[in-house]
């Protein structure tokens, strides 16, 4: 359940509060996003130890108020199932949470470009060599592997993966067109899969 964002009597955004009935500490929608971002950017923190891909992450938001004032003006703000993404728009390769490259996207878009080891092999992403010397193409869809066929060579198999991946990305772009940042939509519509994605 989303806890709506609100300001305190002094006009400052509230990150978290103690529920008067349950006595539980609860985070607002923005509070959860901010806490998650800070946890991932904490050098040597639990998130970086648990998920090494977060090593080197940092943020340029000065504090929660800075983050909240930026966030409430963004597309996708406070939408259930939307996540804060720092990578899609970042062209420098840095792992930085910054106003210029952070956007809110649906989880399924956020997961599109995760580096998933089971889909990677010596043949490239989305292709596996079978024990019979053929090449099987597959794509991850809704947390399941979808097999695209078996092919005589790696290039044919990758082409099947590439076609399916690009169709999936464009379909999601169209599905969320009115709810995502225009820069994200354009990036998704122009996406081209490569073997080293």
Domains of the chain: 1-105 (no CATH), 115-197 (3.30.730.10)
Mean pLDDT of 148-155: 95
Q: Which residue has the higher pLDDT, 4 or 195?
A: 4
Give just the sign of the alpha carbon dihedral 111, 103, 181, 100. Answer: negative
Long-range residue pairs from 81-86, CB within 8 A, at least 24 positions apart, any chain? 81/106, 81/107, 82/106, 82/107, 83/33, 83/107, 83/110, 84/33, 84/36, 84/37, 85/109, 85/110, 86/57
Q: What is the distance between the alpha carbons of residues 30 and 27, in angstroms, rounded to a whole number?
A: 8
Mean pLDDT of 35-62: 93
Helix axes 64-71, 29-41, angle to 10 degrees: 120
**Residue at token pair 């990036």:** 187
pLDDT at 121: 63
- Asked if residue 130 has pLDDT above 80, the reply is yes
**Contact call for residues 115 and 90 (beta carbons, < 8 A):** no
Residue-wise pLDDT for 7-19, tens only, equals 999 999 999 999 9
Helix axes 154-175, 182-189, angle to 10 degrees: 150
């Amino acid at each position: 359940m989303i806890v709506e964002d609100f300001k305190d009597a002094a006009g400052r955004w509230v990150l978290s509060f103690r529920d008067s009935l349950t006595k539980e500490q609860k985070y607002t929608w923005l509070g959860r996003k901010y806490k998650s971002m800070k946890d991932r950017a904490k050098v040597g923190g639990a998130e970086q130890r648990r998920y090494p891909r977060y090593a080197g992450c940092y943020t340029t938001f000065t504090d929660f108020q800075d983050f909240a004032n930026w966030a409430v003006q963004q597309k996708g703000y406070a939408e259930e199932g939307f996540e804060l993404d720092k990578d899609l728009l970042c062209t420098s390769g840095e792992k930085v949470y910054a106003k210029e490259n952070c956007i809110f996207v649906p989880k399924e878009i956020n997961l599109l470009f995760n580096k998933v080891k089971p889909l990677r092999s010596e043949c490239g992403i989305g292709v596996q060599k079978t024990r019979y010397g053929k090449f099987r193409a597959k794509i991850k869809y809704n947390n399941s592997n979808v097999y695209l066929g078996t092919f005589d060579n790696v290039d044919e198999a990758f082409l099947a993966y590439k076609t399916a991946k690009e169709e999936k990305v464009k379909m999601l772009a169209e599905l969320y067109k009115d709810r995502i940042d225009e820069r994200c939509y354009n990036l998704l519509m122009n996406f081209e899969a490569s073997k080293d994605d």
